Structure 1
Amino acid sequence: MSTPAPGQPRRVSPAVYRRRRLVALLALIAIVTAVVLIIVRPGQAVPEPTPTAAAVAKKTAAPVASETPTPTPTPTVDVTDYKECSTKNLVVSPVLDSVDYQAGVLPNLSLTIQNTGKTACFYNVGTSAQELSITSGAETYWVSTDCQTEKSDTVAILEPGVVYPSAPIAWERQRSAPDTCGGDRQVVPAGGASYYLTAKVGEVGSKSSAQFLLY
């Protein structure tokens, strides 16, 4: 190894250059990190962008009501392969949800129809063919057809042995008559009074009645 002449600068080794560059790079990284921390501030929530007027209107606007759907008509039953039910094979029965009703409790009235024949058949079981009656003694107090509205025909296929129930209706414990549909009706006697419900579908009437008591 040669010794530098007097007045000549000492040559720096490559290892020293590398150390100096590394120190300079670390100093630069520290400065950049400090600047970023000052601007961002760790732990501070990032503010949400201000919503546009269109977004506010969309969020606060009242929902638009959907159009009332058009009622779906009852499909016509294909009776090509069936015969109309013979009335002698049909059994209609009155149905009650209880045998006695305390004061203020309304009886729910309905009926069932059953095909006792050996083969399936069709029959009109719609509200236009149904009739419920309430009697006591020789007097008829209420008939479902007196003020019935929106009657409809419903031709159904009745399978042998199957009991088909109707939708129940609540009796208001009042007399009925065709001329009282739009006015007040007289409340029937209660306090343990006995009444009888009978049913009919088309030409087929119930062979027995269902008894109940009103209190």
Structure 2
Amino acid sequence: MTTPVPGQPRRVSPRVYRRRRLVVFLGLIAVIVAVVLIIVRPGQAEPVPTPTATPIAMPTSTPVVTASATPTPTPTVDVSSYKECAVKNLVVEPITDSPDYPAGTLPNLSLSIQNTGKTACFYNVGTNAQQFTITSGAETYWVSTDCQTEKSETLAILEPGVVYPSAAIQWSRERSAPDTCNSERVPVPADGASYYLTTKVGEVSSKTSKQFLLY
């Protein structure tokens, strides 16, 4: 047995040296695990990405209908290069600006005419050719020509397939008759009464009527 020299470090046995290295290695692993646990935080739910809303396409502007967008018959004096429209090719429709009218509101009445033929033609669409008639049941309450004062002829070229609306006229909600033009007229029944508008342009009458209610 060797006696150690005083002041000289004692030599460690290989077994003790391996044990110390193992302790240091285990300590290093413990530190690494602790750092990982701090970062990962087990048990915490994985963050769910916030969905991004899909932009809704909005119109850049609200379309505005101008007067020029409404087709208008082309008045003409010289119609020698056109044929007169055949009655069978013309369709007339009655138009009201509302399906019902509160008390005190006057209905606006108009009509449309369409050339269903294949070629352009001319036709008299003037006020002297237009007629508006309002009925209820079997009774006729009002006819636009009863006391009409301004009448004019308008020869117009009607293009095929185009629907041409007329200017609107107001109905006073009163009965008409040729002998009441200069006298007071009687108001028609209201309170939900049902009326029907039919129209005519020259020899072409509307095949259907337009129903509306008066209150």
Normalising by the smaller structure, the TM-score range is 0.5 to 0.7
Q: Give the AA of the match of 1:168.
A: A
Q: Give the AA of the match of 1:193.
A: A
Q: Distance in 2 between matches of 1:164 and 1:175?
A: 29
Q: Distance in 1 between matches of 2:196 and 2:124?
A: 25
Q: Distance in 2 between matches of 1:137 and 1:105?
A: 22
Q: Distance in 2 between matches of 1:122 and 1:198?
A: 23
Map of 1:161 onto structure 2 = 161
Q: Map 1:172-187 onto structure 2 (within 5 A).
A: 172-187=172-187
Q: Distance in 2 between matches of 1:178 and 1:163?
A: 32
Q: Give the AA of the match of 1:192.
A: G
Is 1:190 equivalent to 2:190 in the alignment? yes
Q: Give the AA of the match of 2:133.
A: S
Indicate conservation of the 8 Å contact 2:75/2:157, yes or no: no
Q: Map 1:99-118 onto structure 2 (within 5 A).
A: 99-118=99-118
Q: Distance in 2 between matches of 1:214 and 1:76?
A: 39
Q: For each residue in 1:115-134, what CA deviation from the matched residue of structure 2 results, as whole angstroms up to 9, or x when unmatched? A: 00000000000000000000
Q: Distance in 1 between matches of 2:75 and 2:123?
A: 15
Map of 1:77 onto structure 2 = 77
Q: Distance in 1 between matches of 2:210 and 2:105?
A: 18
Q: Distance in 2 between matches of 1:180 and 1:86?
A: 36
CA deviation after TM superposition for structure 1 residue 75, in Å: 7.0
Number of residue pairs the alignment of both structures matches:
142
5+ unaligned residues in a row in structure 2: which ranges? 1-73
Q: Distance in 2 between matches of 1:147 and 1:167?
A: 18
Runs of 4+ in 1 over 4 A off after TM superposition: none
Q: Describe the SS at the equivalent of 2:142.
A: strand
CA deviation after TM superposition for structure 1 residue 185, in Å: 0.2
Q: Give the AA of the match of 1:182.
A: N
Q: Give the AA of the match of 1:199.
A: T
Is 1:147 equivalent to 2:170 in the alignment? no
Q: Distance in 2 between matches of 1:132 and 1:76?
A: 25
Map of 1:136 onto structure 2 = 136
Map of 2:98 onto structure 1 = 98
| TM-score, normalization by structure 1 | 0.65
Q: Distance in 1 between matches of 2:75 and 2:127?
A: 16
Map of 2:53 onto structure 1 = none
Q: For each residue in 1:112-154, what CA deviation from the matched residue of structure 2 results, as whole angstroms up to 9, or x when unmatched? A: 0000000000000000000000000000000000000110000
Q: Describe the SS at the equivalent of 1:114.
A: strand
Distance 1:141 1:129, change over 3 A: same
5+ unaligned residues in a row in structure 1: which ranges? 1-73
CA deviation after TM superposition for structure 1 residue 76, in Å: 4.4
Q: Distance in 2 between matches of 1:121 and 1:196?
A: 30
Q: Give the AA of the match of 1:118.
A: K
Q: For each residue in 1:158-179, what CA deviation from the matched residue of structure 2 results, as whole angstroms up to 9, or x when unmatched? A: 0001111111011000000000
Q: For each residue in 1:75-104, what CA deviation from the matched residue of structure 2 results, as whole angstroms up to 9, or x when unmatched? A: 742211110000000000000000000000
Q: Distance in 2 between matches of 1:80 and 1:146?
A: 34
Q: Distance in 2 between matches of 1:86 and 1:118?
A: 11
Map of 2:200 onto structure 1 = 200
Report the identity percentage.
78
Map of 1:119 onto structure 2 = 119
Indicate conservation of the 8 Å contact 2:124/2:202, yes or no: yes
Q: Give the AA of the match of 2:205.
A: G
| TM-score, normalization by structure 2 | 0.65
